[in-house]
């Protein structure tokens, strides 16, 4: 079944170059539909080793034709703002902090590892670290220079605005985009997310990285000019993490058919070809050693290298549309703000079997998948249930538990004696 998502694009502009045309906006919707249906012309560039896990998400997007009041609409709103950028902090102080603490601000794991140093550094300079990004969602509020969202349960809201910072008089993109996952998304522990983040639900894209043939693309030409920043951010909006799991080789994205990676595949050099990254293999997994999946939309690769969602990523996104984001596609949502699954899965690593323990004894279904995304076994149970693993070889597996459309995923490491 094809799930179709209504979209409203809010253009929030300070100068004319930020006020993107309807044609550029429509081109972005076209990119999304090709990427999520695997109709993108460069799907043929997926390496043979990954073609078996590539899939058609059967998710489509369209500019809304009816607004929240029932009136006809183009699905596009425009607002002139007095804000030159929706990123507002002292970038030079950030550079100083990066040098002082050895932090890569594009890597959440690096920030977390050095948090004590960062907090101390900013406090010494009279800045509260937690408040640095306090205004990042201002674009979603009309009284803060942005545009109020349409019903976030019924529409995918995409705000397009300036996310650049001033560096010595030069406007430089700081963020290309950001998005929040659904409430209860199993790959995002609640403690990793801001308090009450659901009120800011939606996707924000830097205006230079939006759509095709964008006349404002500037320095992003050759790197982020194919509309795939939006493809990537909507992946987050539908419950996906970065393929390197925002950590090193000991952390992954919770998806079985994306190989572990220690870092993003990122470059600022538009002259580098995709082939130059094909030997990249940052995690050596003896049981199933695969190169980094630079083709994946959830990496930070050059957009010309991106061309794939995997079957298990697709399963996760569709489960979010059947659960917490169900109202987008005309279904009743099956989760609430505080409704999370809580299953214990043990032992892990496992040797002969794995146990599922449900505290509430509700009926659930389970599926066990290998790293290529193939379903190995499935069933229905309640309370405590044991899955026999004796017929499987050592390696990584994904266990998905589904209770009423709410999915919890667990990576299982099988190590027999």
CATH number, position 178: 3.40.390.10
Residue 333: pLDDT band with limits 50, 70, 90: low
Q: Look at 132 and 322; give whichever has higher pLDDT.
A: 322
CB 318 within 8 A of CB 401: no
Q: Which two tokens stand for residue 210?
A: 């939006």
Q: Do 126 and 139 belong to one domain?
A: no
Q: Do 250 and 398 belong to one domain?
A: no
Residue 321: pLDDT band with limits 50, 70, 90: very high
Does a structural domain hold residue 335?
no
Burial pattern 399-415, b for ≥16 Cβ within 10 A else e, equals: bbbbbebbbbbbbbebe
Q: Which spans in 221-299 are helix H?
A: 228-237
Residue 405: pLDDT band with limits 50, 70, 90: low
Q: Do 174 and 213 belong to one domain?
A: yes
Q: Look at 194 and 232; give whichever has higher pLDDT.
A: 232
pLDDT tens, residue by residue, 188-207? 888 778 888 999 999 999 99
Does a structural domain hold residue 78?
yes
Q: Do 231 and 320 belong to one domain?
A: yes
pLDDT tens, residue by residue, 93-132? 877 888 888 877 555 456 666 778 888 888 888 887 767 7
Does a structural domain hold residue 352?
yes
Largest CA distance in the chain: 66
DSSP letter assigned to residue 57: -
Q: Do 278 and 375 belong to one domain?
A: no
Mean pLDDT, rounded, for 73-84: 97
Q: Which spans in 67-143 are helix H?
A: 91-101, 108-113, 115-124
CB 63 within 8 A of CB 7: yes
Cα–Cα nearest to 137, from 153, 115, 152, 126: 152
pLDDT tens, residue by residue, 361-397? 778 888 887 755 577 888 888 878 889 988 888 777 7
CB 40 within 8 A of CB 107: no
Does a structural domain hold residue 324?
yes
Residue 412: per-residue pLDDT? 78
Q: Do 171 and 258 belong to one domain?
A: yes
CA 34 to chain centre: 18
Entry pTM: 0.79
Residues with catalytic roles: 233
Q: Do 213 and 102 belong to one domain?
A: no
Q: Look at 12 and 223; give whichever has higher pLDDT.
A: 12
Q: Do 294 and 381 belong to one domain?
A: no
Cα–Cα nearest to 245, from 289, 195, 299: 299
Q: Do 36 and 144 belong to one domain?
A: yes
User: Does 231 score more than 90 pLDDT?
Assistant: yes
Q: Do 266 and 122 belong to one domain?
A: no
* Total of domains in the chain: 3
Does a structural domain hold residue 196?
yes
Which range in 287-291, 324-328, 384-388 is most confidently predicted, on average pLDDT?
324-328
Does a structural domain hold residue 334?
no
410: domain CATH number? 2.60.40.3080
Residue 73: per-residue pLDDT? 96
Quote the CA–CA distance of 400 and 395 in Å, as a whole number.
Answer: 17
Q: Do 312 and 285 belong to one domain?
A: yes
Output phi, psi for 320, to 5 deg: -70, -35
Q: Look at 336 and 332; give whichever has higher pLDDT.
A: 332
Domain range enclosing 106 = 91-131
- State the Rg of the chain over Cα: 22
Residue 153: pLDDT band with limits 50, 70, 90: very high
Q: Which two tokens stand for residue 128?
A: 């509260």
Does a structural domain hold residue 336?
no
Q: Which two tokens stand for residue 326?
A: 């169900």
Residue 288: per-residue pLDDT? 65
Residue 218: per-residue pLDDT? 92
Quote the CA–CA distance of 51 and 44 in Å, as a whole number.
Answer: 9
Cα–Cα nearest to 108, from 238, 245, 296, 293: 245
* HSE-CB for 320 with a 13 A CA cutoff: 26
Does a structural domain hold residue 375?
yes
Domain end (from 273, 307, 328): 328
Q: Do 178 and 266 belong to one domain?
A: yes
């Amino acid at each position: 079944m094809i799930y179709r998502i209504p979209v409203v694009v809010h253009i929030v502009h300070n100068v004319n170059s930020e006020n993107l045309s309807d044609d550029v906006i429509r081109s972005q919707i076209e990119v999304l539909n090709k990427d999520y249906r695997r109709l993108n012309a460069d799907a043929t560039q997926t390496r043979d080793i990954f073609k078996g896990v590539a899939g058609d998400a059967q998710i489509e997007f369209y500019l809304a034709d009816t607004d929240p009041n029932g009136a006809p609409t183009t699905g596009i709103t425009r607002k002139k703002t007095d804000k030159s950028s929706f990123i507002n902090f002292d970038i030079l102080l950030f550079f100083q902090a990066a040098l002082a603490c050895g932090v890569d601000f594009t890597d959440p794991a690096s920030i977390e590892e050095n948090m004590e140093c960062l907090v101390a550094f900013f406090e010494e300079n009279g800045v509260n670290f937690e408040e640095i990004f306090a205004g990042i969602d201002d674009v979603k509020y009309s009284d803060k220079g942005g545009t109020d969202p349409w019903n976030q349960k019924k529409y995918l809201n995409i705000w397009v605005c300036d996310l650049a910072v001033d560096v010595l008089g030069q406007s430089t993109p700081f963020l290309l985009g950001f998005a929040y996952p659904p409430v209860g998304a199993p790959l995002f522990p609640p403690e990793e997310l801001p308090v009450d983040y659901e009120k800011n639900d939606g996707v924000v894209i830097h205006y230079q990285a939006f759509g095709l043939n964008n006349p404002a693309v500037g320095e992003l030409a050759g790197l982020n000019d194919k509309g795939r920043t939006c493809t990537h951010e909507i992946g987050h909006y539908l419950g996906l993490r970065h393929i390197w799991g925002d950590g090193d080789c000991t952390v992954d994205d919770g998806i079985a058919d994306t190989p572990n990676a220690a870092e993003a595949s990122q470059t600022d050099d538009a002259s580098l070809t995709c082939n130059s990254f094909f030997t990249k293999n940052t995690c050596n997994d003896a049981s199933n050693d695969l190169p980094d999946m630079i083709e994946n939309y959830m990496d930070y690769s050059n957009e010309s290298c991106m061309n794939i969602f995997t079957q298990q990523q697709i399963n996760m996104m569709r489960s979010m549309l059947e659960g917490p984001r169900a109202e987008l596609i005309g279904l009743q949502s099956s989760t609430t703000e505080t409704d999370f699954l809580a299953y214990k899965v043990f032992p892990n690593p496992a040797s002969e079997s794995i146990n599922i323990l449900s505290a509430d004894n509700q009926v659930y279904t389970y599926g066990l998948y290998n790293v290529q995304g193939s379903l190995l076994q499935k069933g229905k149970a309640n309370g405590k249930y044991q899955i026999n693993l004796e017929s499987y070889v050592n390696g990584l597996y994904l266990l998905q538990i589904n209770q009423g459309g709410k999915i919890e995923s667990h990576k299982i490491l099988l190590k027999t004696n």
